[in-house]
Amino acid sequence: RRQTAPEPGGLEEIILNYQQSARNLIPTVAKSYALIFMGQTMWDMYGRFEGQRDSGDFSALPELHATSSCLKALCTWVTTAGIEVCRQSCGGQGYSLLSGLPSLYTNYVQNLTWEGDYTILCLQAARYLVKQLHAILAAHRGGRPQPELAPTVAYLAGTVSDDPFLDVSRQDYEFHDLLSFEVLDSIMAQRCLFVAGQALDNLEANARRLDAEPKIGEGAAWNASHVI
């Protein structure tokens, strides 16, 4: 699409040549590829589970449920937000049905809440992470062997490891370090571990606070810990 000529009578400029439009649209395109790869990985995970299930092994079910819950919520949110970014990038034409975007948004946005509500699915994934982290810490404090972790949450073991994901004391990181998959993976792992730790601390604090109140069950502590 082209819009607005830089000079009178000149050729209108391609939208992606505008810095602000490129800033909005290129990450949206990148996310669409990420969703494709995520979907393929999820399908492979389900295929492996089917093989285990047929032999009576359901050990991978919690990881499968948590991962699929999280991805369903994330994918629908990213897609809904991406459609709106594209619509806004079209300027006035974004309001027109001719662009196709208003109809696309209207037909898609329901996916956030049907066949799994966005909020509920996010909380189910968070509950799984917190339980896994709690099991690791309980084993460490009790001097027991670390529980076996599913591949997608193996990074949680970093909470009791002497080897940090990322040396935050370093002062010589440069921009090109952000192009390294290993560095990016370490940053994400450290960030996820920190947030999961915050959630667990919050849950345990609420459990202690509510424990003194009569007729208050475990669910109340979880409910009080939805937002950090």
So which residues are the catalytic ones?
A: 115
Check: CB of residue 65 under 8 Å from CB of residue 128.
yes
Tokens matching residue 108? 């898609």
CA distance 92 to 4: 12
Check: CB of residue 190 under 8 Å from CB of residue 165.
yes
Instruction: Give the ranges where 55-180 is alpha helix by DSSP (H).
Output: 61-89, 101-108, 118-141
Instruction: Count Cβ atoms within 10 A of the Cβ of residue 73 and give its class: 0-12 exposed, 13-18 middle, 19 or more buried.
Output: buried
CA distance 198 to 202: 6
Q: Which of 207, 193, 211 is nearest to 223 (CA)?
A: 207
Instruction: Count Cβ atoms within 10 A of the Cβ of residue 150 and give its class: 0-12 exposed, 13-18 middle, 19 or more buried.
Output: middle
Query: Would you report the helix, strand and coil content of the chain in percent, each value rounded to 5?
Result: 70, 0, 25
